[in-house]
Amino acid sequence: MSLNPEEVRRIAQLARLELSPQETGRIGDQLNGILTFVEQLQAVDTAGVTPMAHAIDVVQRLRTDVATEPDRRDAFQAIAPETGGGLYLVPKVIE
Amino acid sequence: MIQAGLKEISAALAEKKISAIELATLFLGRIEQLNPSLNAFITTDRDKTLAMARAADERRAKGERGPLLGIPLAHKDIFCTEGWLTTCGSKMLANFVSPYDAHVVSQFKAAGAVTLGKCNMDEFAMGSSNETSHFGPVKNPWDTSRVPGGSSGGSAAAVAACLTPAATGTDTGGSIRQPAALCGLTGLKPTYGVVSRYGMIAFASSLDQGGPMAKSAEDCALLLSGMAGFDERDSTSLQRKAEDYSRDLNKPLAGLRIGLPKEFFGAGMDDDVRAAVDAALDEYRKLGATTVEVSLPNSGLSVPAYYVIAPAEASSNLSRFDGVRYGHRAAVYGDLVDMYCKSRAGGFGEEVKRRILIGTYVLSHGYYDAYYLQAQKIRRLIATDFSEAFKKCDVIMGPTSPSVAFAFGAKGADPVQMYLADIYTIAVNLAGLPGMSIPCGFGNADMPVGLQIIGPWFAEAKMLNVAHQYQLVTDWHRRRPERGA
């Protein structure tokens, strides 16, 4: 199967990536090359095989529900693009 | 001291023949002299390095000992390093001064190692040639018209050219082993879960693993002992007893069974690589090892399976770069979604964008089962192949890379050609196994060739033993490029 420019734009929108029209064409071609390459996986019979999500089969470790991290808000906000009053600033989302 | 291994440097420090300050000054001078032509480092900071060296000397003066106290090291720029620029090779993080240390970095700090700087890499570790770095490609010190490999190419070039005695790297599909092979080094990717991923900027979390890159197996053993260890901040860090990875270095190899996967020795490997690998296997037979043919029937599917699984995980991991809390934010934007889209478009390079898009696609509604779930099932088949093979052998050997270092631009505009550079290394990550590359000769244009050693889970000490015994009877690992002399 092959992605058309409309599908490439839809995926880019899902990924929150703005693509220029030139990029949509060029990257679209490359994506189709990669998808053709991974297509060979479809031919493999995997009936009854358990998917392997992780390299090592271990049970998820849980920790006690206690605060362990110190408050380092100032250090973290010092590297933010825009802050104010201890908050991260973004364009208005609620009118 | 420029050429010395860690053991020798450690001994010189212990005998007070040299101080940590003198060592740091020596290597900083070398970086100043050679880095402009190699581009192996993104960041150096003389004041911070010398302060760490001074602290190490003070600790020693107070009676403290330890094999890493005062040892200069470089870190791949994927490891968060408090107070240092940590870019991950990306414009997205070009201004990111980390507010905390990765577990690996804090372990080395606690042991008294001295940070020389942060090494260049493919952007977000996505690449096999270092050509995707926002900070420009790293040059291979053996021939500056050729790539050093990737993604830990800066670490590899820095060690090969003796800008640092050793460095950290990370390996998601071959990113320690392939550059180690292409630059003539010893590099080790540990079993998944042995080294904490805390503070190691995530690419594909079920595959990423940090490890050492150095001049010998002996040095890698020393570094791994410092890097490994349980860390509760990484949910996949394994709770195991601390190991001394040097403990088995000197065991004889008589009786060692080496498995040779027939799939690794077929078409696809260049003749010069094959000749060097065959000669290394002869050397192992002389050391008392026997070789046995094994089969990894599904290994041919490892690259396509990887290019579903790794981009899927990457698309999820890299969603954190939104221009809100740190990193690049577009200068001009409209609403919030537009700010995300423009910041990410401006901050990521093209290979990263491709992988995010592939990952988003294979995880999207209607395609998940056909791509992602199927790839995970094939991952199981690949892992099972290894378990079967290890019933017949103690370690598996083969080439690390199908060719020696290639020229810049050689893989052209087709991403799949570049992906195939990792054809022998990727299966190891999918199975979570430990893998190494050691220098085993020279091929075309006198470029280094790497021998890959793969072990069962947690066989690092055994593999280091296997590598060290070879390095006792060969000197490939001691060869340095002219500019490293």
Q: What is the DSSP string of B351-397?
A: HHHHHHHHHHHHHSTTTTIIIIIHHHHHHHHHHHHHHHHTTT-SEEE
Rounded mean pLDDT of B378-383?
A: 98
Residue A85 lies in a domain: no
- Give residue-wise pLDDT tens across range B110-131: 999 999 999 999 999 999 999 9
The string of DSSP letters for B299-321 reads GGGHHHHHHHHHHHHHHHHGGG-
- The pair of structure tokens assigned to A15 is 């990924």
- Phi, psi angle pair for A82, to nearest 5°: -155, 125
Rounded mean pLDDT of B280-294?
A: 98
Interface ipTM > 0.90:
yes
- The pair of structure tokens assigned to A89 is 């600033």
With vertex at residue A22, the alpha carbon angle to CA A17 and CA A24, rounded to the nearest 5 degrees, is: 45
Catalytic residue numbers of B, as ranges = 76, 151, 175
Residue A78 lies in a domain: no
The residues pairing with B292 across neighbouring beta strands, listed in sequence order, are B259
Residue A32 lies in a domain: yes
Are the C-beta atoms of residues B153 and B108 closer than 8 Å to each other? Answer: no
Are the C-beta atoms of residues B110 and B98 closer than 8 Å to each other? Answer: no
Domain that holds residue A50: 1-63
Rounded mean pLDDT of B335-344?
A: 97
The pTM of this model reads 0.97
- The pair of structure tokens assigned to B344 is 């990410």
Work out the widest C-alpha separation in chain A, in whole angstroms: 58
The helix/strand/coil state of B417 is: helix
Q: Supply the CATH number for residue A51's domain.
A: 1.10.20.60
Q: Cβ contact (<8 Å) for B325 and A80?
A: yes
**Residue-level pLDDT at B485:** 45
Q: Cβ contact (<8 Å) for A54 and B206?
A: yes
By Cβ distance, the residue of A41, A72, A91 closest to B375 is A41
The residues pairing with B171 across neighbouring beta strands, listed in sequence order, are B209
Chain A nearest-CA distance from B91, in A, is 14
- Give residue-wise pLDDT tens across range B397-430: 999 999 999 999 999 778 898 999 899 999 999 9
User: Which range among B1-5, B26-30, B457-461, B473-477 shows the weakest confidence by mean pLDDT?
Assistant: B1-5
Q: Cβ contact (<8 Å) for A37 and B238?
A: no
**Residue-level pLDDT at B483:** 60
Contacts of B350 in chain A (CB under 8 A): 23, 27
**Residue-level pLDDT at A1:** 63
Residue A74 lies in a domain: no
- Give residue-wise pLDDT tens across range B429-460: 999 999 999 999 999 999 999 999 999 999 99
**Residue-level pLDDT at A2:** 85
**Residue-level pLDDT at B399:** 98
Residue A18 lies in a domain: yes
Residue A95 lies in a domain: no
Are the C-beta atoms of residues B107 and B226 closer than 8 Å to each other? Answer: yes
Structural domains of chain A, count: 1
The mean pLDDT value of chain B amounts to 97
- Give residue-wise pLDDT tens across range B159-210: 999 999 999 999 999 999 999 999 999 999 999 999 999 999 999 999 999 9
Residue A11 lies in a domain: yes
* pLDDT > 90? residue A52: yes
Domain ranges of chain B: 6-256+458-484
Model confidence at A60, in pLDDT bands (50, 70, 90)?
A: confident
Contacts of B354 in chain A (CB under 8 A): 27, 30-31, 34
Model confidence at A63, in pLDDT bands (50, 70, 90)?
A: confident
Q: Cβ contact (<8 Å) for A56 and B432?
A: yes
* pLDDT > 60? residue B352: yes
Neighbours of B2 (CB within 10 A): 15
> Closest-CA residue in chain A for B342?
A18
Residue type, B86: T
**Residue-level pLDDT at A58:** 81
Question: Span B6-256+458-484: which CATH code?
Answer: 3.90.1300.10
